[in-house]
Amino acid sequence: MDRRLLWLTLIITGLGLAGLLYVNRPRHHTSQHQGPPPAGAPVWKVKVVKTYPHDTSAFTQGLLYHDGFLYESTGREGHSQLRKLDMESGKVLHGGKM
């Protein structure tokens, strides 16, 4: 191979690699005119007005209140259930394992 062709190939390859490195470099933008930082998420205060009994061993996955009853799906491997609960007592009125 001609020495000039070899040098030309090396120079073109080097310039190509330098261009790729330049294009893919990390960019840090430091604008002089940045606005105020975004506001955080709103914080709401809650007040508990009443509590109801509930099976503390139930891992609740879904909960629906309808016509005075709670419909709950619970789950843990081997213990999944769908059940209808009396809201005042926490008693399971109907239930079935899945």
Residue 83: inside a domain: yes
- Stated length of the chain: 98
Question: What domain range is 82 assigned to?
Answer: 60-97
Helix (H, G, I), strand (E, B) or coil at 69: strand
Residue 72: inside a domain: yes
Q: Considering only residues 9 and 37, tell me which one the structure prediction assigns the higher pLDDT.
A: 9
| Number of domain units in the chain | 1
pLDDT in tens, 52-79: 999 888 889 999 999 999 999 998 788 8
65 with 87: CB under 8 angstroms?
yes
Beta-strand relationship, 60-66 and 92-97: unpaired
Residue 5: inside a domain: no
Residue 74: inside a domain: yes
pTM (2 decimals)?
0.50
Residue 55: inside a domain: no
Rg (CA), the chain: 33
Q: Span 10-37, mean pLDDT?
A: 79
Residue 50: inside a domain: no
Q: Return d(Cα 31, Cα 38) in angstroms, integer.
A: 16
Q: Return d(Cα 22, Cα 16) in angstroms, integer.
A: 10
